[in-house]
Structure 1
Amino acid sequence: MYVESSSDSAHKVFFRVLGPLRVCFGKREVSLPESRQLTVLAVLLTEVNKAVPVGRLIDAVWGDTPPVTADKQIQTCVWRVRKALVQAGSRADLIETVRGGYLLRLPDGSVDTQLFEQLRERGRFRARAGDPRGAVDDYRAALALFRGEPLAGLASRMLEPVAAYWAERRLTLLEECFDVELALGHHRELVGELSLLVEEHPLREQLRWHLMTALYLSDRRADALAVYHAGRAALISHVGLDPCARLQELHQRIIAGDPVLPADAVPSPGAYQGPVLRGVS
């Protein structure tokens, strides 16, 4: 799924970085087997439509120990990436040589990270406008773009912060999505997914709050309390802190048998309207 940004179908290319790096022309994938080529392309994708200095590409590939021929090897890598893309059907000038570096010129919607942001924003617009079900559809479509860890398999110190950034964006959007889905009454359906996420991220208190809420609303009060105590033990063991005030309040509400979601958790219809996102449906 991607935004069609060019009228010339032969030139349409879509890059996937929310998982192993992939280059797609429709249903076809372009093979770039050498890790250096993939690393160079990944760095260019992190700076789409911006000039990337050769030195930055050298750092990404070799770190602090580049060979004396690093400049020429980067030039060769870029030439091979260009050749593979052109053979697959891209424009010859997709990667431009600029003063001191290279520039990957792409229309909006050509990278899955761009599509992720478009869907996330439209989901937020729909939530504010009183369309929670539409918001969940967009959130889930955005989350489905992830196919594993971002930029998986690329061993570059320079790319590690980029991968961590997008992994965090995914978790944050999941938390937003759970807020809306719980308010819509989807608590029973969420228990399994949330249980796996809490096991994977035991110190993430927002996810634990969602799991406790889903269990409590599913008439599993004892399980919800057990999740709280397991989280408290993990926090004390790892960082020496008690759970946050929100978790503690939820814990007390569950003990008392009080409601845990406000009546206005699902936004009521409003006048706010977001922009129309071309090609996203």
Structure 2
Amino acid sequence: MGVRLPFHILGTLRVVNDEVVDAPSAHKVKTLLATLLIRANQVVSADQLLLELWGENPPRRALAGLHVYVSQLRKFLSAALPGPERVLTRPPGYLIRVDSDEVDALVFRRLVHQGRNYVRAGRHEEASAAFAQALELSRESVLDDLREGGIVTRFATWVEELRLECTEMLVESDFTLGRHRQLVGFLHELVAEHPLHEAFHRQLMLALYRCDRRADALGVYQAARETITSELGLEPCRAMRELHHAILLGDDERLAV
């Protein structure tokens, strides 16, 4: 994207300053930083932080321990990113002060929002670019080593769901732009990575059909049906069944070729 983001939480937690990439060495300080960044510019109460760091059974002196970890985090950030104090005490807890273009998750969310707005305006070239930029920021598994508390776990789930939605919208915009041939390989990868995500099977079927590969499109349906039936005991969703029927009939009007 050409912009260097200081804070990264869409994969492995890291802090970037020029060419230096770093992170706190202590696990609980890393968890504290990730939690505050997830709630960037919002107060996270001490009770929420205790729950995130120690779960339902914190040690007797957990609050004192939290104060120590906050102090260590402030020291780490002042060395990694010199400037104004980032972590502020605000009753009933703490917040981290960041700009909207300093945290990859904030930029990710903004790009997806921009992409949706472009789609609504019929500006699919700009929508495709926004969705692609968003996905570039979120290719790693999110905070795998820090998913011990509810805030981090819920955030990771949210990112993974939004990433899938963003990918679907990118493909739909590229379909509108007539890029079905370029999408076939990408969609094969997505189907292999997400074998139970029916939207990607449906999109691959449509891309193949639009490339005059009707038999391959029908083969995708049969393979998807076998997977879904064996894994879930279900038939494919209505949208997939209707697309399969349209391909069998060669219904170009229904398939918008």
- Give your verdict on TM over 0.5: yes
From 144, 149, 172, the equivalent of 1:157 is 149
Give yes or no for contact 1:2–1:112 (8 Å, CA) kept in 2: no
Give yes or no for contact 2:201–2:224 (8 Å, CA) kept in 1: yes
From 20, 29, 35, the equivalent of 2:21 is 29
Greater shift after overlay, 61-70 or 140-149?
61-70
Deviation at 1:72, TM superposition (A): 1.9
Alignment partners' CA distance in 2, 1:162 and 1:126:
25
| Aligned-partner residue type, residue 108 of structure 1 | S
Return 5+ residue gaps in structure 1 as ranges: 5-12, 264-281
Greater shift after overlay, 76-85 or 122-131?
122-131
**Aligned to 1:225, what secondary structure does the other structure show?**
helix
Greater shift after overlay, 108-117 or 119-128?
119-128
* Structure of greater relative contact order (alpha carbons < 8 Å, 6+ residues apart): 1
Alignment partners' CA distance in 1, 2:235 and 2:84:
58
Q: In structure 1, what is the equivalent of residue 87 of structure 2?
A: 95
Q: In structure 2, what is the equivalent of residue 173 of structure 1?
A: 166
Return 5+ residue gaps in structure 2 as ranges: none
Change (3 A) 1:152 1:2: farther
Q: In structure 2, what is the equivalent of residue 189 of structure 1?
A: 182
Deviation at 1:170, TM superposition (A): 0.4
Deviation at 1:17, TM superposition (A): 1.0
From 112, 125, 137, the equivalent of 2:104 is 112
Give yes or no for contact 1:119–1:142 (8 Å, CA) kept in 2: yes
Deviation at 1:42, TM superposition (A): 1.0
Deviation at 1:99, TM superposition (A): 2.3
| Aligned-partner residue type, residue 175 of structure 2 | L
**Aligned to 1:199, what secondary structure does the other structure show?**
helix
Q: CA RMSD in A?
A: 2.1
Alignment partners' CA distance in 1, 2:37 and 2:204:
36
Q: In structure 1, what is the equivalent of residue 8 of structure 2?
A: 16
From 122, 130, 133, the equivalent of 1:130 is 122
**Aligned to 2:142, what secondary structure does the other structure show?**
coil
| Aligned-partner residue type, residue 257 of structure 1 | G
Aligned residue pairs: how many? 255
Structure having the larger proportion of residues in helix: 2
Deviation at 1:77, TM superposition (A): 1.4
Identity %: 37
Alignment partners' CA distance in 1, 2:18 and 2:2:
9
| Aligned-partner residue type, residue 138 of structure 1 | A
| Aligned-partner residue type, residue 15 of structure 2 | V
- In the superposition, the TM-score normalised over structure 2's length comes to 0.90
From 230, 234, 246, the equivalent of 1:237 is 230
From 202, 215, 235, the equivalent of 2:208 is 215
Deviation at 1:108, TM superposition (A): 2.0
**Aligned to 1:93, what secondary structure does the other structure show?**
coil
